[in-house]
């Protein structure tokens, strides 16, 4: 999962998260930091379990976006 934290820095994904945060840059930075921290320690492979974790930490919109990115990354590997 550590690789995913670097993917989150992709400009397309950053823009998507910024939009999900209602264009609030501070909020987006906080979300990105927390997502990176989560994925740096996450050992789970099951997307449903990861989704449950993310939904307890973030809004559904943020959690769904993170799962979409993770799903896309898993398809590329």
Which spans in 1-77 are helix H? 2-7, 11-20, 25-41, 47-57, 60-76
Q: pLDDT 10s per residue in the chain (77 long)?
A: 545 555 565 777 889 999 999 999 999 999 999 998 998 898 888 889 999 999 999 999 999 999 988 888 777 66
Task: State which residues form the domain around 57.
Answer: 2-76
Domain count, the chain: 1
Contact 69/39 with Cβ under 8 angstroms? no
Task: Output the pLDDT for position 77.
Answer: 61
Cβ distance 1 to 43 under 8 Å? yes
């Amino acid at each position: 999962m550590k690789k995913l934290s670097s993917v989150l820095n992709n400009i397309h994904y950053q823009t998507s998260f910024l939009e999900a945060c209602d264009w609030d840059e501070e909020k987006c930075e906080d979300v990105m930091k927390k997502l990176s921290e989560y994925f740096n320690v996450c050992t789970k492979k099951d997307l449903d379990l990861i989704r449950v974790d993310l939904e307890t930490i973030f809004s559904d919109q943020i959690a769904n976006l993170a799962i979409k990115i993770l799903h896309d990354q898993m398809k590329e590997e």
